[in-house]
């Protein structure tokens, strides 16, 4: 139960914590919006549970955050901004799917709140609507804020030399990837294992228990193979897997063997709700045999020798021979999913890749080595260091985009502060005596 409470507060801090307040009080009014004591306490607890540092005046900081949020919500309604129900529902289902992935059941949540799941979701739905309404107002305030190159330079020149941010070591790499082919025997072995597991489930054994014991999807396996509710066209969902999952009719039905880009599965239907389905699966992956590994590494060895002798161009080799469809068309260059740049901080690499990259020089090509792709499948690859930078202080020459983002953030904060000042002047503000002692960063709150 403690785990449930922590997760609920981390996701829905104010509402989850409010359940413990038998007598709640209004500590501020902003326009037509109220701030309650439980809002402050819930946000404070949420920060603590998420591992953020807290200090003695942190509740005062939280209180001011809530004042600004309520001011934005109030103005959003004045400006007739709209949050579509679908936006809230997508976020709501995402949150509850996360609970399911953490092993928290619907029954656990109902027991904690002493309400039906429909009542709980309705309460959470209101909170999410309010959060999104404030976010829309904030986006409206800053949507036209831009940075010119001269403003970025001015921002950089204003920073004290000792306060210039430190940039971690970075690398830009290209790769040529080969998948060791699975033998017919390896595929047959996996299919037979799944047939045996399916028969055991049909004969009465627990799908959940067998998923924990045998599935090679570690995230889902911890939750008995359960994936949580998914939309039919969900991002990253394999089409063949989706087709079979949505074809199951009755709760408890177990599918035939399904081949997807992740491996081979059997699927059990848990529940259907409109265009969404919740199911369990057991995933098994064929294992490459020594002969197929030798074939892949041998081909890569040949490519390395030819490229090092200038008998073969790296980009041509990547296009012709790499089996990674995401990178083969651009010379094997990897794209960082966090910011869509070609630079990776060194701690972003998987350990096996980091161990190869850390001592390589610009232009150097590695020997073939074993790694894993984003689906966990074994791959063999060679990499080339296109560029790299050691840890250093940020500079306009090498880190312009990073500094531009910092400068833009500062400018956006200034625009928001000015907007808040203006709206405080024209809004009804009430602050309870218990929070008037706070050293709020904006003194105008207390002038009303």
User: Which tokens belong to 353?
Assistant: 């890749």
pLDDT for residue 124: 82
Query: How many domains, in total, are found in the chain?
Result: 3
φ, ψ dihedrals at 26, nearest 5° = -80, 125
Helix (H) or strand (E) holding 344: strand 344-345
Domain boundary (234, 262, 284) is at 284
pLDDT for residue 184: 85
Structural domain of residue 276, as residue ranges? 184-284
**130 falls within a domain:** yes
77 and 121 share one domain:
yes
Q: What is the CA radius of gyration of the chain?
A: 27
pLDDT for residue 443: 78
**231 falls within a domain:** yes
Question: What is the full DSSP assignment across 85-152?
Answer: HHHHHHHHHHHHHHHHHTT--HHHHHHHHTS-HHHHHHHHHHHHHHHHHHHHHHHHHHTT----HHHH
Q: Among positive and negative, which fits the CA dihedral 126, 78, 26, 13? A: positive
pLDDT for residue 389: 86
Mean pLDDT by runs of 10 across the 448 residues of the chain is 52 50 76 89 74 75 92 94 86 75 71 80 86 94 95 93 87 94 88 94 93 87 84 73 90 92 91 84 90 92 95 95 93 89 89 92 95 84 93 89 92 95 92 86 77
Do 351 and 372 meet the contact criterion of CB atoms below 8 Å apart? no
pLDDT for residue 448: 59
Residues with Cβ within 8 Å of residue 307, at least 6 apart in sequence: 313, 314, 317, 365
43 and 97 share one domain:
yes
Question: DSSP state, 273?
Answer: E
**157 falls within a domain:** no
pLDDT for residue 22: 43
pLDDT for residue 380: 95
Strand 33-36 and strand 263-273: the pairing is unpaired
pLDDT for residue 18: 47
pLDDT for residue 14: 46
Distance of CA 121 to the CA centre of its chain: 22
Rounded CA-CA distance 388/404 in Å is 21
Question: DSSP state, 438?
Answer: S
77 and 224 share one domain:
no
Per-residue buried b or exposed e for 213-235, using 16+ beta carbons within 10 Å of the residue's own CB: ebbbbeebbebbbbbbbbeeeee
pLDDT for residue 40: 86
How many residues can be counted in the chain?
Answer: 448
295 and 235 share one domain:
no
Question: DSSP state, 288?
Answer: -
pLDDT for residue 101: 62
Taking CA atoms, 304 is separated from 244, 286, 290, 359, in Å, by 42, 28, 21, 18
User: Which tokens belong to 250?
Assistant: 């009755």
pLDDT for residue 28: 92
Question: DSSP state, 396?
Answer: T
pLDDT for residue 197: 94
Please report, for the domain that includes residue 323, its CATH number. 3.10.50.40
Rounded CA-CA distance 413/404 in Å is 14
Please report, for the domain that includes residue 29, its CATH number. 1.10.4030.10
29 and 75 share one domain:
yes
Nearest C-alpha neighbor of 430 from the set 130, 78, 43, 33: 33
Per-residue buried b or exposed e for 334-345, using 16+ beta carbons within 10 Å of the residue's own CB: beeeeeeebbbe
pLDDT for residue 109: 77
């Amino acid at each position: 139960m403690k785990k449930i409470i922590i997760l609920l507060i981390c996701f829905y801090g104010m509402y989850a914590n409010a359940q413990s307040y038998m007598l709640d009080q209004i500590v501020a009014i902003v326009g037509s919006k109220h701030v309650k004591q439980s809002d402050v306490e819930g946000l404070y607890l949420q920060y603590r549970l998420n591992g953020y540092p807290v200090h003695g005046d942190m509740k005062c900081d939280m209180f001011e955050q809530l004042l600004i949020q309520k001011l934005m919500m109030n103005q959003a309604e004045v400006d007739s901004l709209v949050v579509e129900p679908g936006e809230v529902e997508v976020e709501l289902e995402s949150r509850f799917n996360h609970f399911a992935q953490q092993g928290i059941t619907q029954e656990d949540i109902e027991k904690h709140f002493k309400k039906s799941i429909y009542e709980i979701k309705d309460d959470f739905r209101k909170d999410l609507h309010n959060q999104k309404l404030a976010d829309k107002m904030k986006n409206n305030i800053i949507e036209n804020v831009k940075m010119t190159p001269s403003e970025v330079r001015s921002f950089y020149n204003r920073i004290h030399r000792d306060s210039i941010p430190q940039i971690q070591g970075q690398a830009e790499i290209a790769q040529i990837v080969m998948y060791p082919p699975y033998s017919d025997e390896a595929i047959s072995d996996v299919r037979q294992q799944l047939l045996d597991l399916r028969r055991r489930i049909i004969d009465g054994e627990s799908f959940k228990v067998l998923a924990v014991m045998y599935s090679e999807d570690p995230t889902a396996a911890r939750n008995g193979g359960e994936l949580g509710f998914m939309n039919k066209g969900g991002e990253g969902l394999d089409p063949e897997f989706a087709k079979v999952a949505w074809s199951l009719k009755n709760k408890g039905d177990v599918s035939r063997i399904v081949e997807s880009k992740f491996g081979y599965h059997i699927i059990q239907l848990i529940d259907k709700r409109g265009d969404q389905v919740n199911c369990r699966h057991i995933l098994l992956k064929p294992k490459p045999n020594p002969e197929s590994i030798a074939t892949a590494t041998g081909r890569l060895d040949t490519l390395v020798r030819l490229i090092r002798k200038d008998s073969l161009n790296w980009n041509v080799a990547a296009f012709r021979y790499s089996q990674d469809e995401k990178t083969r068309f651009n010379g094997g260059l990897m794209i960082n999913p966090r910011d869509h740049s070609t630079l990776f901080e060194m701690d972003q690499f998987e350990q096996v890749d980091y161990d190869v990259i850390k001592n390589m020089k610009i232009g150097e090509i590695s020997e073939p080595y074993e790694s894993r792709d984003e689906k966990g499948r074994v791959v063999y690859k060679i990499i080339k260091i296109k560029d790299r930078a050691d840890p250093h202080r940020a500079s306009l020459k090498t880190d312009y985009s990073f500094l531009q983002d910092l400068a833009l953030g500062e400018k956006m904060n200034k625009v928001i502060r000015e907007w808040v000042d203006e709206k405080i002047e024209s809004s009804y503000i009430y602050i309870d005596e218990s929070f008037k002692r706070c050293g709020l960063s904006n003194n105008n709150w207390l002038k009303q």
